[in-house]
Amino acid sequence: MPTFPTAISTQQLSFRYGGVPILHEVDLALSAGKIIAITGPSGIGKSTLLSIFNRLWEENGDGRLQGQVKLRLDGSMVDIYQDAYPLDTLRRKVGMVFQTPNPLPMSIAKNLAFPLRLMHIKDKGLITTKSEEMLRKVHLLDEVGDRLQANATQLSGGQQQRLCIARSLMLEQEILLLDEPTSSLDRQGCLRIEALLHELRGTTTILMVTHYQDQVQRIADLCYELREGRLHQTL
Amino acid sequence: MAMGSGLLLIAILCMMAVLGWPLVENGRFFALFSTTWSPHAQAYGILPMILGSLRITVLALLFSLPMSIGTACLAELLAPRPLRRLLLVTIRFMAGVPTVVYGFVAVFLLVPLMREYLIFGSGFSILTASLVLAVLIAPTMIIFFVNGLQSVPRSYCHAVDSLGARPMQKLIYLLLPQAYPSLLIGVILGLGRAMGDTLISLMLAGNSVALPESVAESGRTLTAHIALVIAADFSSMEFTTIFACGLILSLFTVCLIVSIRLLDRFGTRGAQHREMSTESRP
């Protein structure tokens, strides 16, 4: 049985948002390549917890974080709040997919190329190859391969969500944060995404917020419930 | 609502045309577009004022637009958070400052500077008025630009942020293109305000009725001309010309708005066409 190094660790992590305590002295050590589910009642702060790992909460201000958050990036553990790690680099290595699909108002091809465009990669051959690879990975190539110039916002909800995952994967992130990625999808779309997560297991550390216990049973290696500011392991 | 506004505008235009009709009856209508304004010699040319208005408006917009877009971007995204709040408060305060205050400050601070370092003569010039007018219209434009940037859906912002976009990339690739309609409205309002402002040009442009050869010379705008004539006269042919000035001013504003709308329509179509062309390449 292969052993995986720690990919995500927190020490004495506390977080308040708008004065409301969300997390209280959380210590966590999650292995790389696993699928970790986070469950808990609505409004308890599960999404906020995810946004701590790519520092997305900082865009809204009003949050206050204490403690240590370390991620394994490029082979070494980095304290993302203390080591002056560049924010743009962090977010390119820690992908995020949101509850509601959020393709940008541009074509499917441009959506996929967008992360590479941000990194000033202009090689059209590379972009095309990579886009097709990621579309294949999320089982979307057969459905949209012949209309890559269509506006991404015209796709169905499930297709949009898979496109967003593909867009996230364009940068081959080491850690993927998924905020209830299947909540707006039908069963078919949900199973497709779960199949994709199975494929990513081992190469990508996946931290996923979900409300569905059956989904946890199907795909999660570990499960934590967020309750009263603390994480309780349930699986 | 739109129809009511349109009817009101037409009624105002008609009223000005009727009140200015004596000029046509006396065969002086085309003489309006000459360069000589000399009521004693029965010469009522308002071309210098038309050109004065256009020059000051265009210059003010040229100065104000980059300043306003830059400030809006700072206030919405680029500046540190405490500075953003301070900027917005300052801009809202500036929008409420009476025009005469800008005028007085400029008379005592800017005009001497212009006289000493940049312009020969009194310092009262088209350039001086344009600079102050640029500052005057900037808050209106900035407030619209900031509102436009804030109206971009948060889901798009989250997507771009989570992909690691730097603030400038977020601005260029997402916020500015998405906020384009609001930017355009801000420009239209700024233009309208610059074109319609009376006090700044009256206080700072010098009010010369001669046709200026450069922006460093004194000039008079249509609005300043109306104010100066109406202050001294109520019945002569000279007085009648101000209705022609008003009509021209209104038509200018209408033309500006229509051309910007057309530019917007063609621009949007062009952008869509360009996008499709780019994407259809192998």
Q: What pLDDT is recorded for position B269?
A: 53
What CA–CA distances, in Å, run from A52 to A31, A60, A74, B43, B160?
Answer: 18, 12, 19, 75, 17
Task: Give me the phi and psi of B25, to 5 degrees please.
Answer: -60, -35
pLDDT band at B230 (very low <50, low <70, confident <90, very high): confident
| C-beta separation of B201 from B52 below 8 A | yes
pLDDT value at B282 more than 50: no
Q: What pLDDT is recorded for position A199?
A: 87
Q: What pLDDT is recorded for position B87?
A: 93
The Cα angle at residue B228 between residues B225 and B234, in degrees rounded to 5: 105
pLDDT value at A174 more than 90: no
Asked if the structure places residue A207 within a domain, the reply is: yes
What count of other Cβ atoms lies within 10 Å of the Cβ of residue B107?
Answer: 16
Chain A contact for B159 (CB, 8 A cutoff): yes
Instruction: Choose among B165, B173, B280: nearest Cβ to A149.
Output: B280
Asked if the structure places residue A110 within a domain, the reply is: yes
* Average pLDDT in chain A: 88
Q: Which value does ipTM take for this structure?
A: 0.90
Instruction: Choose among A98, A104, A118: nearest Cβ to B164.
Output: A118
Q: How far is B162 from chain A (nearest CA, A)?
A: 6
Residues of B whose CB is below 8 A from A115: 163-164
Task: Give the domain extent around A144.
Answer: 6-233
pLDDT value at B88 more than 60: yes
Helices (H), A72-156: 87-93, 108-118, 124-137, 141-144
Residues of A whose CB is below 8 A from B174: 104
Nearest to B131 by CA among B225, B203, B222, B213: B203
Residues of A whose CB is below 8 A from B157: 59
Helices (H), chain A: 46-53, 87-93, 108-118, 124-137, 141-144, 157-169, 187-200, 213-219
Q: What pLDDT is recorded for position B119?
A: 66
Higher-confidence residue: B22 or A13?
A13
Tens-place pLDDT, residues A106-161: 999 999 999 999 999 989 999 999 999 999 888 888 888 888 999 998 898 888 98
Q: Are strands A222-227 and B43-44 parallel, antiparallel or unpaired?
A: unpaired
Per-residue HEC secondary structure of chain B comes to CHHHHHHHHHHHHHHHHHHCHHHHHCCCCHHHHCCCEEHHHCEECCHHHHHHHHHHHHHHHHHHHHHHHHHHHHHHHHCCHHHHHHHHHHHHHHHHCCHHHHHHHHHHHHHHHHHHHHCCCCCCCHHHHHHHHHHHHHHHHHHHHHHHHHCCCHHHHHHHHHCCCCHHHHHHHHHHHHCHHHHHHHHHHHHHHHHHCCHHHHHHCECCCCCCCCCCCCECCHHHHHHHHHCCCCCCHHHHHHHHHHHHHHHHHHHHHHHHHHHHHHHHHHHHHHHHHHHHCC
pLDDT value at A201 more than 90: no
CATH homologous superfamily, domain B13-272? MetI-like (1.10.3720.10)
What whole-number distance in Å separates Cα of residue A224 and Cα of residue A228? 13
The region of weakest confidence among A101-105, B116-120, B199-203 is: B116-120
What whole-number distance in Å separates Cα of residue A91 and Cα of residue A52? 11
Q: With CB atoms and an 8 Å threshold, state whether A91 touches B163.
A: yes
Tens-place pLDDT, residues A28-39: 899 888 999 999
**Residue given tokens 């209830």 in the structure block:** A180
Q: How far is B230 from chain A (nearest CA, A)?
A: 54
Q: How far is A2 from chain B (nearest CA, A)?
A: 31
pLDDT value at B69 more than 90: yes
The region of weakest confidence among A153-162, B56-65, B146-155, B253-262 is: B253-262
pLDDT band at B157 (very low <50, low <70, confident <90, very high): very high
Token code pair at residue A145 = 């391969």
Instruction: Choose among B162, B173, B279: nearest Cβ to A54.
Output: B162
Tens-place pLDDT, residues B18-46: 888 877 777 777 778 888 888 888 888 88
- Give the start-to-end residue ranges of the domains of chain B: 13-272
| C-beta separation of B145 from B68 below 8 A | yes
Tens-place pLDDT, residues B164-177: 999 999 999 999 98
Given its phi and psi angles, is residue A9 left (phi above 0), alpha (psi -120 to 50 degrees) or beta? beta
The region of weakest confidence among A110-119, B87-96, B235-244 is: B235-244
Determine the average pLDDT of the residues in A67-74. 90
pLDDT value at B152 more than 50: yes
Asked if the structure places residue A1 within a domain, the reply is: no
The dihedral built from the CA positions of residue B120, B123, B129 and B135, taken in this order, carries a sign that is: positive
Asked if the structure places residue A29 within a domain, the reply is: yes
Q: How far is A212 from chain B (nearest CA, A)?
A: 24
The Cα angle at residue A103 between residues A85 and A49, in degrees rounded to 5: 45
The region of weakest confidence among A78-82, A165-169, B128-132, B210-214 is: B210-214
Q: With CB atoms and an 8 Å threshold, state whether B279 touches A107.
A: yes
Q: How far is B218 from chain A (nearest CA, A)?
A: 49
Token code pair at residue B145 = 């630009």
Residue A122: exposed, middle, or buried by beta-carbon count in 10 A (0-12, 13-18, 19+)? Answer: exposed
The pTM (predicted TM-score) of the whole model is 0.81
Domain count, chain A: 1
Determine the average pLDDT of the residues in A61-69. 86
Give me the CATH number covering residue A166. 3.40.50.300
| Closest chain B residue to A176, measured at CA | B162
Q: What pLDDT is recorded for position B243?
A: 87
* Average pLDDT in chain B: 85
Task: Give me the phi and psi of A35, to 5 degrees please.
Answer: -105, 115
